[in-house]
Amino acid sequence: MATKSTSKCPAVIIIIAGLLMLSAIVAFFTFAVLTYLNPPDALTEDDTTAEETLEESEPEPELPAIIDFQTTVDNWANAVGGDKGVIIYDLDLDKVAGTYNADTKFQTASIYKLFVVYEGYRRVQNGIWDGSEIAGWTRNTILKCLDLAIRESNSPCAETLWNKIGHEELNAIVQTDFGITTVTASSLMATPTEIMLMMKKFYEHPDITDEILVAQMKDSFLNQPVTTYNWRQGLPSGLSERVNVYNKVGWNWNGSYWTIYDDAAILDFVTEERHFIAVVMTSGISYQQIRQFGTNIEAAFYDQYVLKN
């Protein structure tokens, strides 16, 4: 009996080992098939995230068509006498759209008030100035003077605020804070390019966020009723009601002709949602000729806009 039992043991062990190996093989293939049919959650989540990212990403907004004013600028400049400098700047595309003597210095006349007024609004915004305080001997509040210096080119207001800031301090502010490094405000000389950069500052007004201040600032440039003078007799009167013209002029009439006539404007083509800055600085040129330039700008815009849209 002992000998018989001993001979059966190896066979039993072999059978058990075979069964275990077969079970392992079956288990391996079962796991492989299940894994293929049901990928791990991590992979599924990654794929879902990628798909969601693609769905959520939006296409880049289409840029507006380029409007080229260079021919318009050249034709006007060649048709009139006197000294002139012009720049038209596309605010939506952030590029120059036409120039003529844009880096030549001209007398600013009342255009210098742009530098004073922007810094004044900054000081009210930051609490450095109290807008309700009376501005010197003007009998107007600081806020009212900031308005009148643009709306009616009020010189007592502008000069009072300029003195309050300090001439040298304003020079430094314009060059450092405003980033217009080539201009000295107190010299009363500037190029069309420098004035364009100042108008761009008003358009973007990154330092002025108070809604009441922004609304007053915009209205001062847009609504300028005739007083002793017609402040909008130049560029604004040359454009139709389809265009909102935010404007500041500076001039000097010597009794015979305009020794200075400067016009700086933000042009808002409302329906088309297109925006430009036009700056004209001149000597010996009439406001009627500048008015005609405004008309030419609008005609050139719509001629090209219709073709490109």
User: What is the domain range of residue 270?
Assistant: 70-308
DSSP secondary structure, 64-100, as one string? PPP---HHHHHHHHHHS-SEEEEEEEETTTTEEEEEE
Q: Which residue has the higher pLDDT, 290 or 40?
A: 290
> 2 pLDDT exceeds 50?
no
**Locus of tokens 């806009």:** 305
For residue 152, give the CATH number of its domain: 3.40.710.10
The pLDDT, as a whole number, for residue 63 is 82
- Asked if residue 11 is part of any domain, the answer here is no
- Asked if residue 53 is part of any domain, the answer here is no
- Asked if residue 263 is part of any domain, the answer here is yes
Lowest mean pLDDT among 50-59, 68-77, 163-172, 218-227: 50-59
- Asked if residue 94 is part of any domain, the answer here is yes
- Asked if residue 60 is part of any domain, the answer here is no
The amino acid present at 6, given as its one-letter code, is: T
Q: List, for residues 160-204, the tens digit of each pLDDT value.
A: 999 999 999 999 999 999 999 999 999 999 999 999 999 999 999
DSSP secondary structure, 98-111, as one string? EEESTTS-EE-GGG
Say if residue 297 is exposed, middle or buried (CB neighbours under 10 Å; 0-12, 13-18, 19+).
buried
Domain count, the chain: 1
Kindly state the average pLDDT of the residues 70-84: 97
- Asked if residue 174 is part of any domain, the answer here is yes
Q: List, for residues 12-23, the tens digit of each pLDDT value.
A: 555 555 555 555
Residue 8 pLDDT level (bands cut at 50, 70, 90): low
Q: What percent of the chain has pLDDT over 90?
A: 78
Residue 5 pLDDT level (bands cut at 50, 70, 90): very low
Q: List, for residues 248-284, the tens digit of each pLDDT value.
A: 999 999 999 999 999 999 999 999 999 999 999 999 9
The pair of structure tokens assigned to 7 is 């001979």
The three-class DSSP label of residue 126 is coil
> In terms of Cα–Cα distance, which of 176, 218, 181 is closest to 199?
218
